[in-house]
């Protein structure tokens, strides 16, 4: 299977998926289902992979691809043109596909309880620390939301320095529980736990997913494992 169906009880009209790296046309380090146009893959291969994803998932429209910059900008997916510079998008319109691209960073998908509003966010550690989850929830303006945490670097492989831990802990003391020492000046960070702590603080109680490791699982692209020459997975959410 070329995609993962989230373990997430969604309303009947809402659909979500994360692609894996097999089933496409890209070759070499990008093999094979790479939909990212910013990683030096052959543009024709990227276009073909995007068509494969659209057909494979029976998407109602071309996904709203973002120019991700590890920030907190959130755009309304149904009103943008081109490829906006943002790290999250939301919509309350049917047949609009919110999407983010990742290869170790955390993809976060959101759904309002009635399924009317949906969103997707790219949460690398910088965006997570800066507040991309909070900004996305604020843009959605939903009273009740459930969230799915997609494939990301796992806590046994995400080594960071003191500066990363301090960036989180200085603003939120409880974040210390998401870091374990891995030698002088080194820490293993649990990006899933950091996201869950933030979501709990924001009143989001129903959080699913979070059981993957892109570094350890060969189904996924991984920047940390493979270096700069690698593809990306797409995490997508849309509604009828």
User: What confidence category does residue 221 fall into, taking pLDDT thresholds of 50, 70 and 90?
Assistant: very high
Angle of CA points 89, 95, 99, to nearest 5°: 30
CA distances from 127 to 62, 102, 131, 194, 239 (A): 25, 13, 6, 12, 26
User: What confidence category does residue 214 fall into, taking pLDDT thresholds of 50, 70 and 90?
Assistant: very high
Cis-peptide into 32, omega within 30 deg: yes
Is this model's pTM higher than 0.95 or not? Answer: yes
- Digit-coded pLDDT (tens) for 76-99: 999 998 899 999 999 999 999 999
3-152+205-239 adopts what CATH topology? 3.60.140
- Digit-coded pLDDT (tens) for 1-43: 899 999 999 999 999 999 999 999 999 999 999 999 999 999 9
pLDDT value of position 1: 80
Q: 151, 193, 195: which is closest to 18 by C-alpha?
A: 151
- Digit-coded pLDDT (tens) for 163-178: 999 999 998 899 999 9
* Average pLDDT score, the chain: 97
pLDDT value of position 112: 97
Question: In percent, how much of the chain has pLDDT > 90?
Answer: 98
- Digit-coded pLDDT (tens) for 54-81: 999 999 999 999 999 999 999 999 999 8
- Digit-coded pLDDT (tens) for 139-160: 999 989 999 999 999 999 999 9
What is the full DSSP assignment across the chain?
Answer: --EE--S----TTEEEEEE-S-SSS--GGG-S----SSSS--HHHHHHHHHHHHHHTT-SS--B--B--SS--EEEGGG--S--B-SEEEE-STT--EEEEESSSEEEEEEETTSS-EEEEEE-HHHHHHTHHHHHHHHHT-SSEEEEE-S---TTT-EEEHHHHHHHHTT-GGGGGGEEE-STTEEEE-HHHHHHHHHHHTT--EEEE----TTT-TTS--HHHH-SS---EEEEEEE-
User: What confidence category does residue 238 fall into, taking pLDDT thresholds of 50, 70 and 90?
Assistant: very high
pLDDT value of position 26: 98
Greatest alpha-carbon span in the chain? 51
Count of other CB atoms within 10 angstroms of residue 61 = 14
pLDDT value of position 167: 97
Query: What are the residue boundaries of the structural domains of the chain, listed by start?
Result: 3-152+205-239
């Amino acid at each position: 299977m070329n995609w993962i169906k989230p373990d997430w009880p969604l309303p009947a009209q809402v659909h979500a998926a994360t692609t894996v790296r097999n089933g496409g046309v890209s070759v070499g380090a990008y093999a094979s289902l790479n939909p990212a146009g910013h990683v030096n893959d052959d543009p024709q291969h990227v276009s073909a992979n995007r068509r494969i994803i659209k057909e494979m998932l029976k998407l109602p429209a071309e996904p709203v691809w973002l120019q991700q910059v590890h920030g907190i900008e959130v755009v309304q997916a149904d009103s943008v043109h081109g490829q906006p510079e943002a790290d999250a998008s939301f919509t309350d319109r049917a047949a609009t596909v919110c999407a983010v691209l990742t290869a170790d960073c955390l993809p976060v998908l959101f759904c309002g309880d009635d399924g009317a509003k949906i969103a997707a966010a790219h949460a690398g550690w910088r965006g997570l620390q800066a507040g991309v989850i909070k900004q996305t929830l604020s843009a959605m303006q939903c009273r009740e939301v459930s969230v799915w945490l997609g494939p990301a670097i796992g806590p046994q492989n995400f080594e960071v320095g003191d500066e990363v831990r301090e960036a989180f802990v200085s603003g939120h003391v409880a974040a210390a529980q998401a870091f374990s020492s891995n030698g002088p000046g080194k820490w293993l960070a649990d990006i899933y736990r950091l996201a869950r702590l933030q979501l709990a603080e924001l009143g989001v109680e129903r959080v699913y997913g979070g059981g993957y490791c892109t570094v350890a699982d060969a189904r996924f692209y991984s920047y940390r494992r493979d270096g700069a020459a690698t593809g990306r997975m797409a995490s997508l959410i849309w509604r009828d």
